[in-house]
Amino acid sequence: MMIPLPHNPVRSARSAFLQAAWIAALASSGCVVPDSPADPDPPLPAAAVDWLAPDSLRGRTVSDGVSYHFAWSARGPWALHMVAADLNRCELELVVVPALAEDGRTRTRETVTAMVPNGRVTALAGVNGDFFAPGGAPVGPEVTSATQRSSTRPGIAWDAQRIPRIGPGAARNDSAPRRLQVVGGFPELLDGGIRVGDLQVGDRPDFAAARHPRTAVGFDPGSGVLWLVVVDGRQLPRSAGMALPELTELLLALGVAEALNLDGGGSSVMTVAGETVSRPSDAAGERPVGNSLWLVRDGSACEGDQRGSAADSQATDRPT
């Protein structure tokens, strides 16, 4: 089914020029040109389609309850990669994978594709995680399997109920032991569906206002749907990246109420079902980072499932 896109003569002319330039660039690099606008199955929320006004849109099912969506819009121009996951399904979990040396303790840096979770779980999608120091140590909080490695700034955390909590209190020290997994980010973008602050970051307003590659995670407690989002950037005419206010508007259009910006720039990357779907901006390709955030499938997790409804959990155990 074709998606009806709003018609604007000025935008249409600009779109045609940018799309032609992008197609030429893709053809010269040997890449496959995405399909014409079509309705992915399952589709993106209508509000996101309206906001993006995509010139190319496609999607596919990754696993039961998990879908991947690609959109290209001349409006930015933007090339976007989005994974939706229905966390009401007991077999779906989030996992933090730190980059560690062979001794299992020393921090280092690895590419996201090298940090695929092992064991009995099946990795469905992964993105880069928190900002990191040169040696690979995360700037914000990190908890893996209830082991706390650091604690500052906002984060996304989930406990035995495996329901995400996003915000500055998500990984507070008194709760970290019962938070099975935590990864940090900055800044928090949405809290209860409300934009947080002015999205400026200290004395670096260009961090928020300028367009860069971005990685973000968002969650809607009402529906239980989590979104992982990567915006390619620094790759004109293909994709400029997004400013934080633009990223926030996209997340709102996707229907999330809680959202967190993760590390971006050359660190931004998304892998889906073993394939790197995004295009990192560094000339050398994928950048080694300090940790990664993964959506995995674990069939054994449904045995003795402890989760309640996402809405109930947010109402009774919301971090402050």
What is the per-residue pLDDT across 173-217, written as a single tens digit (0 to 9) for each?
Answer: 455 555 567 787 888 999 999 998 655 555 566 788 899 999 999
Query: Does 1 map to a domain?
Result: no
For range 21-36, the mean pLDDT = 49
User: To the nearest whole percent, how much of the chain has pLDDT over 70?
Assistant: 68
Residue 3 located in a structural domain = no
**272 has pLDDT over 70:** yes
pLDDT classification of 133: cutoffs 50, 70, 90: low
Cis geometry, peptide bond prior to residue 168 (ω within 30 degrees of 0): no
pLDDT for the residue numbered 11: 47
Q: Report, as an integer, the average pLDDT of 247-259.
A: 97
- Work out the mean pLDDT of the chain and round it to a whole number: 79
Q: Provide the token pair at 203.
A: 């004395």
CA 225 to chain CA centroid, nearest Å: 13
- For 191-196, the CB contacts below 8 A with 24+ separation are 191/166, 191/167, 191/258, 192/257, 192/258, 193/252, 193/257, 195/248, 195/252
Token digits of residue 46? 């209508």
Predicted pLDDT at 165: 80
Span 36-52, pLDDT tens digits: 445 545 578 999 999 99
Closest Cα partner for 68 from 263, 216, 278, 252? 278
Distance, in Å, from the CA atom of 268 to the CA atom of 62, rounded to the nearest integer, reads 21
Range of the domain at 33: 9-316
Query: Which among 119, 101, 118 has a CA at the least distance from the CA of 109?
Result: 101
| Confidence tier at 129 by pLDDT (50, 70, 90) | confident
Tokens 């000339």 belong to residue = 283
Using only C-alpha atoms, the chain has a radius of gyration, in whole angstroms, of 19
Query: Which residue bears the tokens 């955390």?
Result: 157
- pLDDT at residue 30, as a whole number: 47
Asked if residue 77 is part of any domain, the answer here is yes
Residue 163's pLDDT band (cuts 50, 70, 90): confident
What's the count of helices (H) and strands (E) in the chain, helices before strands?
5, 18
User: Taking Cα atoms as reference points, which of 277, 259, 253, 278 lies closest to residue 49?
Assistant: 253
pLDDT of residue 276: 97
Q: Is residue 4 part of a domain?
A: no
Cβ(59)–Cβ(67) below 8 Å: yes
Overall number of domains in the chain: 1
Q: CA geometry: angle at 289 spanning 127 and 294, to 5°?
A: 25
Of 113-117, 148-152, 169-173, the range with the highest mean pLDDT is: 113-117
In a domain, 143, yes or no: yes
**Would you say the pTM of this structure is higher than 0.95?**
no
Is residue 128 within 8 Å of residue 229, measured between CB atoms? Answer: no
Task: For residue range 206-236, list pLDDT tens digits in order.
Answer: 788 899 999 999 999 999 999 999 999 999 9
**Residue 202: what pLDDT?**
53
